Structure 1
Amino acid sequence: MSAPAPDPVAPVARPAPRLVARTVEIDDPGPLLGLLPPGAEPFSWVRRGEGIVGWGEAARLRTTGPGRFREAERGWRRLLAGAVVRDDVGLRGTGPVAFGSFAFADASSAASSLVVPATVVGHREGRWWLTRTTTGESGPSIGATIPGPVSGAPPQQPDGPPPGTVVFADGAVSSPDWESLVGRAVARVERGELDKVVLARDLLARSSTPVDVRGLLRRLAAAYPATWTFSVDGLVGATPEMLVRTQVRLVASRVLAGTIRRTGDDAHDLALAASLARSSKDLGEHEYAVRSVVEALTPFCAGTNVPESPFVLHLANVMHLATDVTGVLRDDVSSLRLAEALHPSAAVCGTPTAAAAALIDEVEGMDRGRYAGPVGWLDSDGDGEWGIALRCGQVGDDPHEVRLFAGCGIVAGSDPAAELAESAAKFVPMRDALGG
């Protein structure tokens, strides 16, 4: 995958709103997800109790089409260009922060978003902080424009209503028809048209009561603490896959490809993990995914480190082959720019990328929206964390309905019935969180 060419900041017709942010250290306020208030759109990026959450809206950027990443980064730069910031903590993720979620495909009808919450609470390395952000056209001085007071932690919020009765139905393509699509894809791979393609399917969940996203997040985090529990603009889930993380000039990416379902029997699961680690089909699929990440990062890095073999990542419902790729950045580049360069990886699209994307457009039968696109956050230094939006659902305009997504890597020798079963396993986190 070729690296995107440098893109200068475009001139704007009128000034962007003035961003004004203040970050202070606070005492431990309790679980981050317990701080999210009712009635406000929740933002979340939390793993094992650490991360950031937010609510309210200071600024929002929406972009579409092939230039969605560049337009979002330009908008973020414009907001920061006139920003007034007082950061008393100085950790990654303090100061003004934008949560983001991007459409998978250039032609998707779904808009991509960068949102700056009015309130952000973070926890990392034994420290907690609170950031409040406002916008205005101008401000006379830092003393007058910094929001205040900002001392003290927000209170823990009560649990929302319990989940209602949930009914599930096939989405754009029925289960039998999706098996047939997988069979067609396998035939194309075995004819040598491509090495791998990832095919996704959706499932519609209808709840008897409005879905409380805060409750979804809490249940996902409790059941899958090793994943990143996220919520941005109605897209909510628990992803095990870190697309890219940056801190100063260090970059890391976790690649997952190759999956087997857990049984709940520890001895049997250990045997299954061993078989996964020896599976030529799964190892081949994983190698494609790792190679695509390394090729995308190489133009930006002075050096990269790739382990010789993957490890088996044990999650509550499945196990994955996993590889952590790390590197040192050659230049100052934002985490969002790297997410653009890495998207779409072989783990969610296939190899070669162009051939896999064309086959997805031809046979998948649905618009993925922001499923399998980058989701995460970045700060004013450009550092951030971007996962791949997996194990997730989209809450639409109707709060009773959630569209769930799952996908599987198809290579030579893939069995359509086994892939359907794998997709069902990947629906489990959201199904359980919904109470289904």
Structure 2
Amino acid sequence: MTSPHAPGLPAGRLVGRTVEVPPASLPTDLLDLLPAAEPLAWLRRGEGVVGWGVAARCVTHGPDRFADAADWWRETAAAAEVADEVREPGTGLVCLGSFGFADEPGDSVLVVPEVLVGSRGGRAWVTVVGREAAPDLPDLAPTTPPDAPRGVTFADGAMSGAAWEVVVADAVARIGAGELEKVVLARDLVVTTDAPLDVRWPLRRLASDYEMCWTFHVDGLFGATPELLVRRERGLVTSRVLAGTIRRTGDDARDAGLAGQLARSSKDLEEHEYAVRSVADSLAPYCSSTNVPEVPFVLHLPNVMHLATDVTGVVHDHHDAAGASVLDLAAALHPSAAVGGTPTKVAVELIEEIEGMDRGRYAAPVGWMDAHGDGEFGIALRSAHVDGDRVRLFAGCGIVASSDPASELAEAQAKFLPVRDSLSGD
């Protein structure tokens, strides 16, 4: 494992406190609190956490990236002293994290913010964390708003749309030949701007336009994901599976018909069944019981509709699976069939062979965890990675035997829209 401390951060015991604050003392939008430097966010429908500053940081990579990060977190949390007067999931010592999709290359990261502000169920709190001593509580006034992006230009990333269709056709042929049942293929777009992007701008747009999704930012990776990989709260585990997609038209009557079409589509139902089975099988060793609904529901988002299933379970409280944290569960679930394919090992090997790009932390777990192992990790979909004035957008599609390359390209274009629209300056 790499050093848990970023360069320049002295080693030492983490000390902090969580205090409850009146919800009315916070801005209506928690994102208004974020400074431009080192912002962190995990929000849905106005609730969640935002943070800034770095009290501690762990960077891992390779096939043991999840286990190394989980070990570091358990050691860090055990040594920390954080007085918590709220005692809810998301209070006390909390880290936010984002992980690489593949074993190599790239880094995964956990960050303990110096300041974390949370809101949930009518309660609000502030946590401050430092080394050897807790910092003072911050001013909770809105910060200076971000500037709009200027000179935004879009270009193909690793390959053109036409080239990607050829890759999809190759995958369909391999599925038809019996090599595998499903593979998820992704493509990227590259955006450049006249000045370094202030990530708070797209975060605000995404949180406003896609309030049913989880809007996030961790270490340059931002987006609004509709897919909750796993939530753990006092032993109860939930995982939302999305697979099977149709683009919305904006006409309510027509969209209602399309939703029915999606719910009856043999191609989409097949893709969805693979994904649900993958999640249920991965959770089974960690849960004393699991519940898998027989029929998916249709999740309506502003740009697309998905087949969705919420798989639930209860974490084992005995044997070697006792105390499995939300990060342990996320590691067990990644990559699910929804982002890799079926069989997973064969699908991931095919992705590495033909996809032609480095996914980085796209389509991998992103979220938060507290010292008790509770938390939420989503799948980093509808997402992008910002590095100064360069932004990479990602979108992926599940490919099965009946997939049509042109239709899959259109679906990928629809999935680019949330982040693409969030970068406009109007």
If the TM-score is normalised by the length of the shorter chain, which range does it land in? Answer: over 0.9
Q: Provide the C-alpha distance between the structure 1 equivalents of 2:34 and 2:338, rounded to a whole number of angstroms.
A: 32
Residue of structure 2 equivalent to 1:244: 230
Alignment CA distance shift 1:41-1:146 (3 Å)? closer
One-letter amino acid matched to 1:113 = V
Residue of structure 1 equivalent to 2:111: 115
Q: Provide the C-alpha distance between the structure 1 equivalents of 2:78 and 2:211, rounded to a whole number of angstroms.
A: 37
The counterpart of 2:402, out of the listed 405, 413, 422, is: 413
Q: Retained in 2: the 8 A contact 1:246–1:383? A: yes
Q: Provide the C-alpha distance between the structure 2 equivalents of 1:42 and 1:210, rounded to a whole number of angstroms.
A: 15
Higher mean C-alpha displacement, 278-287 vs 19-28 = 19-28
Map 1:135-174 → 2, pairs under 5 A: 135-136=131-132, 145-148=133-136, 150=137, 154-174=140-160
Q: Provide the C-alpha distance between the structure 1 equivalents of 2:115 and 2:60, rounded to a whole number of angstroms.
A: 23
Question: 1:16: Cα distance to partner?
Answer: 5.8
Q: Alpha-carbon deviations, 1:200-252, whole Å to 9, x = none?
A: 00100111232111111100001100000000000000000000000111000
One-letter amino acid matched to 2:30 = L
The counterpart of 2:414, out of the listed 419, 425, 430, is: 425
Map 1:58-69 → 2, pairs under 5 A: 58-69=55-66
Q: Please state whether the residue corresponding to 1:199 is helix, strand or coil.
A: strand
Q: Retained in 2: the 8 A contact 1:130–1:153? A: no
Answer yes or no: is 1:19 the counterpart of 2:14: yes
Q: Alpha-carbon deviations, 1:140-174, whole Å to 9, x = none?
A: xxxxx4444x3x75111232112212111010111
One-letter amino acid matched to 1:234 = G
Map 1:338-377 → 2, pairs under 5 A: 338-377=329-368
Answer yes or no: is 1:435 the counterpart of 2:421: no
Residue of structure 2 equivalent to 1:128: 124
Q: Provide the C-alpha distance between the structure 2 equivalents of 1:85 and 1:186, rounded to a whole number of angstroms.
A: 53
Q: Provide the C-alpha distance between the structure 1 equivalents of 2:290 and 2:72, rounded to a whole number of angstroms.
A: 30
CA RMSD, aligned part only? 1.2
Answer yes or no: is 1:102 the counterpart of 2:93: no
Residue of structure 1 equivalent to 2:7: none
One-letter amino acid matched to 1:385 = E
The counterpart of 1:261, out of the listed 247, 252, 255, is: 247
Q: Provide the C-alpha distance between the structure 2 equivalents of 1:276 and 1:406, rounded to a whole number of angstroms.
A: 20
Answer yes or no: is 1:183 the counterpart of 2:187: no
Q: Provide the C-alpha distance between the structure 2 equivalents of 1:46 and 1:431, rounded to a whole number of angstroms.
A: 19
Q: Please state whether the residue corresponding to 1:176 is helix, strand or coil.
A: helix
Q: Provide the C-alpha distance between the structure 2 equivalents of 1:153 and 1:352, rounded to a whole number of angstroms.
A: 51
Q: Retained in 2: the 8 A contact 1:101–1:374? A: yes
One-letter amino acid matched to 1:259 = T
Q: Provide the C-alpha distance between the structure 2 equivalents of 1:125 and 1:268, rounded to a whole number of angstroms.
A: 35
Higher mean C-alpha displacement, 154-163 vs 90-99 = 154-163
With normalisation by structure 1, the TM-score equals 0.92
Map 1:271-290 → 2, pairs under 5 A: 271-290=257-276
Q: Please state whether the residue corresponding to 1:281 is helix, strand or coil.
A: helix
Q: Retained in 2: the 8 A contact 1:102–1:373? A: yes
One-letter amino acid matched to 1:280 = S
Q: Please state whether the residue corresponding to 1:297 is helix, strand or coil.
A: helix
Residue of structure 2 equivalent to 1:8: none
Q: Provide the C-alpha distance between the structure 2 equivalents of 1:88 and 1:147, rounded to a whole number of angstroms.
A: 16
Q: Alpha-carbon deviations, 1:102-141, whole Å to 9, x = none?
A: 000012x2100000000000000100000000124xxxxx
Q: Provide the C-alpha distance between the structure 2 equivalents of 1:192 and 1:382, rounded to a whole number of angstroms.
A: 40
Residue of structure 2 equivalent to 1:6: none
The counterpart of 2:69, out of the listed 67, 72, 78, is: 72
Identity %: 62
Q: Provide the C-alpha distance between the structure 2 equivalents of 1:42 and 1:125, rounded to a whole number of angstroms.
A: 23
Q: Retained in 2: the 8 A contact 1:45–1:376? A: yes
Map 1:265-344 → 2, pairs under 5 A: 265-330=251-316, 331-344=322-335
Q: Retained in 2: the 8 A contact 1:26–1:153? A: no
Runs of 4+ aligned structure 1 residues displaced above 6 Å come to none
Q: Provide the C-alpha distance between the structure 1 equivalents of 2:225 and 2:416, rounded to a whole number of angstroms.
A: 12
Q: Provide the C-alpha distance between the structure 1 equivalents of 2:225 and 2:38, rounded to a whole number of angstroms.
A: 20
The counterpart of 1:87, out of the listed 80, 84, 102, is: 84
The counterpart of 1:53, out of the listed 39, 43, 50, is: 50
The counterpart of 1:393, out of the listed 376, 384, 390, is: 384
**What is the number of equivalent residue pairs in this alignment?**
408
Residue of structure 2 equivalent to 1:36: 34
With normalisation by structure 2, the TM-score equals 0.94
Residue of structure 1 equivalent to 2:319: none
Q: Provide the C-alpha distance between the structure 2 equivalents of 1:208 and 1:267, rounded to a whole number of angstroms.
A: 42
Structure 1, gaps ≥5 residues long: 1-14, 137-144
Q: Provide the C-alpha distance between the structure 1 equivalents of 2:304 and 2:150, rounded to a whole number of angstroms.
A: 26
Q: Provide the C-alpha distance between the structure 1 equivalents of 2:307 and 2:153, rounded to a whole number of angstroms.
A: 32
Q: Please state whether the residue corresponding to 2:88 is helix, strand or coil.
A: coil
Q: Alpha-carbon deviations, 1:350-389, whole Å to 9, x = none?
A: 0000110111011000110000010001000010100000
Q: Provide the C-alpha distance between the structure 2 equivalents of 1:161 and 1:85, rounded to a whole number of angstroms.
A: 36
Question: 1:17: Cα distance to partner?
Answer: 2.5
Q: Provide the C-alpha distance between the structure 2 equivalents of 1:319 and 1:75, rounded to a whole number of angstroms.
A: 39
One-letter amino acid matched to 1:218 = R
